[in-house]
Structure 1
Amino acid sequence: MDKDVQEEWQSEIDLVRPVISCPSTIYSVIDIVSWPDLFVTDDLDTSLDISCLPLSGNSFALGETLVTCTAIDDVGNEQSCSFSVIVDQEAPSISCPLEALSSADNVVTFTTVLAVDNVDVSPDFTCVPSSGSTFASGVTTAVFCNATDDAGNKNTCSFDVVIDQTDPVVTCPANLTSASPIVNWTAPTATDNYDTSVDTGCVPPSGSSFASGGSGVSCTATDDAGNWDTCDFSVFVDVEVPSVTCPADITSGKPGVTWADPPATDNADSSPVVTCSPSSGSSFSAGITMVTCTATDHVGNENSCTFNVDGDFPILTCPGNMNSVDNKVPDYPPPTLSGNTLSVTLVDCVPKKDDGVNGPNMLVLCQAFAGAPPSVAFCAFSILTP
């Protein structure tokens, strides 16, 4: 058969495209990228023309480049396929725990190691020792992790694993007594052999509302490894005021008045503090003065009682200031008595008439006595030297 006739005959009967198979995405750290010969077949042609753009062995830019390859048989049937070349020179990012992992269990699983990449959505990473390994007690073990992306870029990180099987030590506040049902306290303190900031918590928590009477509070400290310790203290809510009993009303014939401390009792405080105003031993004026005595327990609850002090004593009234006569005390009128004068046996003033005057302003003191010192009333006036 003539060659031209044969070619025409083949073109008329060969309508099947060749089959071409491209590789999957190629990742490369270097920019010169080559790939193996592509697999192609045809129903008749055993020597197909194959071309790729860009060519294998070319220099590729950073990032992704689409490569298209075409196979053509002798009669012009053609088929194409495509694949990507990704030039990636950026190492993946891998993050390890910032602080040592503490565990009370020797078998430690860590899920906080993460790896990300600018191209590879799931870079491979491995750790030595691996997650789930058995770690020695009481020692710090270094773990090294390595991340690799599809282009072969690598990065590493490391962290420590501490097997801590020692409980922390927690110390609670002292027992508390409060006059308010809302009770706050300073957080318990905790120490640990590894953990420098042990978590603590109390049930009920500080700031809770407590019922009247006694309640228990339990506090727990937990270290990073999960070891824990507890302590307890009590809260006593005391809303009951103390009881205080004042003395009967007092009538006094002299200004200075004393009395025994009023007795006081309390449901929780064995020794409530009692104060009186005016206080025992004060100097009282004539007439009736109310005294208020207040009992305060150790949480600040207060209760008061009152009684009267009747100042039934003499009142001595002196004459007004006078001028001296020839540098001597003049003849002055005696002071006048009022009030309860029945007990007064003597009224005396010093200096007396005709005594010499010392200085420009000399004081004359007059006192009323009830049989013997001290005086029960007094007054004073001045002798002035012009």
Structure 2
Amino acid sequence: MSVRLFSSAATVLVIHNCPDHITVVNFLNISDVSVSWEEPTASSPNGPVMLVTSTHVSGETFPRNSQDTVTYVFEDLLASLKNVNLCGNSTVYSSHIPGDVFPPGPTMVNYIFTDGAGNSASCIFIVTVAEVDTTPPVLLSCPSNITVTVDVGQESVAVSWQPPTAEDLGGQVFQSDMLNPNDTFMIGVTEVVYEFADAANNRVSCTFTITVVESDSSPPIIMNCPDDIQEDIEIGTLTIIVTWKEPTAVDNSGQDALVTRNSFPGMPFAAGTREVVYIFSDSDNNEATCSFNVTVIPGTQFANMEVGTSNVVVTWPEPTVTDNSGSFNLIGPSHSPGDTFPTGLTNVVYNYEDNSGNSAVCEFRVNVSSEDTRPPSITGCPLTQTVNVEAGTDEVQVIWTEPTASDTSGLVSLLSNNYNSGDLFSVGDTIVEYVFVDAHGNQAVCSFIVRVTAVDTRDPLVINCPQTVTEVVELGVSVAIVRWDEPFAVDLSGSPVFVTKSHQPPVVLSVGDHVISYSFEDLAGNVADCVFTVSISTGITVTG
């Protein structure tokens, strides 16, 4: 324990109850221990003594395994007073007077009044100088306005920046912000605000804008850019018409891409190689290019031969030669007009040489293409199919052997047919058609007629044909008038029926048996008969 005393040179402060060194044994092995002691006091013959400060107080907690020095500082109040004023028989001692400069923090001001008899009175108060922070933090960095460009159709983009920083004399700065680097920003202008505040709530802000602008930086996308094209030009021809499917392009702006080109399909091309260039451009002048070569090979003799044929005879006008010497020799041409050539390209060479050994060469190509111009060959195409059906029948099933086809190309298929064997056909003529096609689109047609004829083979149907009809007459009567319900007939074909009959009721018939007949005939000559007997007999005479 140590004590520091502050007094005038003639004054000695007296310390009372200054404790000796204190040792505490921690039997419980706990981390902190509370230590208590009787606190010291001080006195001075001059008057009051003040405890200025102490490093610790009795009952304070000390950590385990530590050694701490406890210090009490006392001060003689009278000795510390520096201002003395005499007022009559009184003396005023003061530590400060109005207008003094005070340091930050609390300062004790003492006034002691003493009269001539040695009586004294004191006035003690505290002057506290508070440090007030009115200065806002200082921005160390703040981003400038940021502009970001996005492609057409892109609605947002992540934007990054170096966050601003600030410092303050107080040492502590608090930051608040609503947006952070790598956040997503929509098209347009967004204000970003960072605010910094110190412990005294003095504030400073960093404000900048992020502008997202839509701009088309992508070139159009080309589709169907043709590959290089090679064409052969026939002997004696200067140009050839070349066609191709033109490329197209789409653009992310949704607008059609403008195009410029140096050639177009269907135009004539001379011998040689020419680059065809298409340039597509959008409204923001982003360009995309499609280019390909058209090569025209001169001096070709064309010929076609049917598929399945191994070679074809090709002729051409032979070249003519002149020489200023008047004579020259043809040295073995590789081929002659009328030779046979296989499919594909064959080089034909004519070598000429004059008597001086000067030579000239004529070289061209024979291009033989295999072409299928023959339609398929049909086998088993049916003749007219004739079928009879009973009159009154609506339709009938007709069966035939279906045709087949073959082709020199080896590939043939049934393209279409309007009926199949086994289908139902109505009365009358119906055209049946089979269409066959080969691999090269050549077609062959098999057509025939299915003729369904309604034939009436059924007899008319007799209705109400009577049984035997009997009549009785009196004795002496030789005849009788006979009546019956006449039969009739109908025909299933719906055609009319004609009738022939032996008797027409009522009829007078003599006593005895009589055969009555009805004959019914339809338009097809089918006949049905109704025959019955009329029997007339004599009865007994009745008298009165």
Choose between structure 1 and 2: higher strand proportion: 2
Structure showing greater Rg:
2
Which protein has greater RCO, CA pairs closer than 8 Å, 6+ apart?
Answer: 1
TM-score by length of 2: 0.23
